[in-house]
Amino acid sequence: MTAYVPAEMKRSRSAGADRTFTLFTAGAAWLVLVLLGATALSMAWGGRLAFQTFGLDFIISPEWDAVQGKFGALVPIYGTLATSAIALVIAFPVSIGIALFLTEIAPRWSRGPIGIAVELLAAIPSIIYGMWGLFVFAPFMGANVEPWLTEHVGDWPILGPLFNGPPIGIGMLTAGIVLGIMIIPFIAAVARDVFAEVPAPLKEAAVALGSTRWEVLTKVTLPYTRSAIIGAIFLGLGRALGETMAVTFVLGNAHDLSVSLLMPSNSIAAAIANEFTEADSELYRSSLIALAFLLFVVTLIVLSFAKLLLVRLKRIHGRTL
């Protein structure tokens, strides 16, 4: 430990107590690193049987058959990526819109309450999203949105097959939308804070040249805050990839690979949540832990990117990351 200790204090009698205190706090700091490393290692160790048995097939095979002891995780991997992509497509424009509204348009008195209300979306436990998704939102999607999509978008050339399917409500599209709602507050909060930090003279100069507010946003604010906005997207992506409960409720726990976003599917986190306590063989358990390892490593990389891009962002008290 090379903590800074003033020279004159080293001579004092309490130097020993000081060193002990510093070492104690440094030990706690180390613990954070140890726990992170231990989690990754223990997942790699627990999943080694699956990796050894299936090799690359574990990632590229869609065959997940507990009875025959064959575990290929393409379906949950695809489901995780597809739902997260849907979530970002929804959350990104909405979050930018909310940030623009809160920094430029809303009356000053209303900015605080509206900002808090949006942040509360992040406070709602994910299991509540899941219950609402299962009992309210999925039936709504199945009865209203999905039949419309199949009828009007289902025969489009490239996008069509994505939206052609049985209107059962539960599936990747519904899960992706729920995820999108869940990550809006994270992206919106970062975007709002960085928008507010754009130096006023820059914006005033653009306005003086006759820019509209839309032009100020696209030609001054967004270029100025680009790295933080990309960081916010990665943060949202990291959140969406690892979200478990909400997705478990509305994804349907199916192990079939389907193009249609209206079909039930699976995600890495949902597969673990649904199947781990029922996994009756060593290989089954190991396969689920191997999935957890992949998820953990990918989210750590994504979140590290987010953190690197957000590093310039001033920390705001009480908000995390």
Partner 1 sequence: MTGSRVLQRKVVDAVALVFAGAATLFGLFWLFWILWTTLQNGIGALNPALFTQMTPPPGSEGGLLNAFYGSAMMILLAVAIGAPVGLAAGTYLAEHGRYTRLGAVVSFLNDVLLSAPSIVIGLFVYEMVVASMGHFSGYAGALALAMILLPVIVRTSDEALRIVPDQMREAAFALGIPRWKVTSQILFKAALSAIVTGVLLGIARIAGETAPLLFTALSNQFWTSSLNEPLANLPVVIFQYAMSPYDEWHELAWAGAFMLTLFVLGLNIAVRLIVRRRKRS
| Contact positions with partner 1 (CB under 8 A) in 44-83 | 46
DSSP calls for 34-103: HHHHHHHHHHHHHTHHHHHHHTTHHHH---EETTTTEE--HHHHHHHHHHHHHHHHHHHHHHHHHHHIII
Interatomic CA distance for residues 222 and 226, integer angstroms: 6
Identify whether the C-beta of residue 72 lies closer than 8 Å to the C-beta of residue 58: yes
Q: Which of 77, 170, 175, 289 binds partner 1 (CB under 8 A)?
A: 289
Nearer to partner 1, 144 or 212 (CB): 212
Q: In the range 21-40, which residues lie near partner 1 by CB under 8 A?
A: 21-22, 24-33, 35-36, 38-39
Stretch touching partner 1 by CB under 8 A, among 50-58, 60-68, 141-149, 299-307: 299-307
Q: Which of 228, 292, 309, 313 binds partner 1 (CB under 8 A)?
A: 292
Contacts of 279 (CB under 8 A, 6+ apart): 66, 285, 288
Contacts of 123 (CB under 8 A, 6+ apart): none
Smallest distance, Å, CB 102 to partner 1? 7
Q: Which of 59, 74, 94, 202 binds partner 1 (CB under 8 A)?
A: 94
Q: Which of 51, 78, 224, 276 binds partner 1 (CB under 8 A)?
A: 276
- The tokens describing 103, both together, are 């920094």
Q: Which amino acid is at 138?
A: A
Could you give the angle at which helices 172-197 and 74-100 cross, rounded to 10 degrees? 40
Decide: is 207 part of the binding site for partner 1 (CB under 8 A): no
Q: Which amino acid is at 218?
A: T
Decide: is 148 part of the binding site for partner 1 (CB under 8 A): no
Identify whether the C-beta of residue 262 lies closer than 8 Å to the C-beta of residue 176: no
Cα dihedral value 86, 92, 93, 97, nearest 10: 140
Q: Number of residues interacting with partner 1: please give it, by CB under 8 A.
A: 101
Identify whether the C-beta of residue 191 lies closer than 8 Å to the C-beta of residue 229: yes
Interatomic CA distance for residues 84 and 239, integer angstroms: 9
Nearer to partner 1, 165 or 291 (CB): 291
Smallest distance, Å, CB 98 to partner 1? 5
Decide: is 233 part of the binding site for partner 1 (CB under 8 A): no
Q: Which of 244, 265, 286, 287 binds partner 1 (CB under 8 A)?
A: 244
Smallest distance, Å, CB 226 to partner 1? 18
Longest dimension (CA), the chain: 82
Decide: is 242 part of the binding site for partner 1 (CB under 8 A): yes
Decide: is 225 part of the binding site for partner 1 (CB under 8 A): no
Smallest distance, Å, CB 183 to partner 1? 10
Stretch touching partner 1 by CB under 8 A, among 157-165, 199-207, 213-221, 258-266: 213-221
- The tokens describing 320, both together, are 């995390």
Decide: is 318 part of the binding site for partner 1 (CB under 8 A): yes
Smallest distance, Å, CB 165 to partner 1? 23
Q: Which of 49, 66, 114, 222 binds partner 1 (CB under 8 A)?
A: 114
Decide: is 209 part of the binding site for partner 1 (CB under 8 A): no
Q: In the range 115-144, which residues lie near partner 1 by CB under 8 A?
A: 116-118, 120-121, 123-132, 134-136
Interatomic CA distance for residues 288 and 51, integer angstroms: 11
Decide: is 109 part of the binding site for partner 1 (CB under 8 A): no
Q: Which of 58, 195, 249, 284 binds partner 1 (CB under 8 A)?
A: 249
